[in-house]
Amino acid sequence: MFEQAVQVSEAHRQGAQYMAGSLKMAMKGCRECKTMHMIASPELGTCVDCGSELQVLDI
Ligand SMILES: [Zn+2]
């Protein structure tokens, strides 16, 4: 079970790297709440929990 989850995660990571050239996969998040979301729109928006502006996270 755990090994399979690792493989899926690894594949996802490699896929993200593969697409980095044309479509940059990025995450946004709230540093206050430590929440992370995949960026799906040009606007980052604000945290629904605390109202802070979401920031682009470098992974
Ligand atoms: Zn927050």
Going from the Cα of 22 to the center of ligand 1, the distance in angstroms, rounded, reads 30
Backbone angles phi, psi at 9, to 5 degrees: -65, -40
Per-residue model confidence as pLDDT tens digits over 30-42: 999 999 988 888 8
Going from the Cα of 53 to the center of ligand 1, the distance in angstroms, rounded, reads 8
Give me the amino acid identity at 4.
Q
Per-residue model confidence as pLDDT tens digits over 13-58: 666 555 544 455 689 999 999 999 888 888 899 999 999 999 998 7
Q: Are strands 27-30 and 55-57 parallel, antiparallel or unpaired?
A: antiparallel
Q: Can you give 1-59 as a three-state secondary structure string?
A: CHHHHHHHHHHHHHHHHHHCCCCCCCEEEECCCCEEEECCCCCCCECCCCCCECEEECC
Going from the Cα of 55 to the center of ligand 1, the distance in angstroms, rounded, reads 10
Going from the Cα of 25 to the center of ligand 1, the distance in angstroms, rounded, reads 21
Q: How many CB atoms lie within 10 A of CB 54?
A: 21
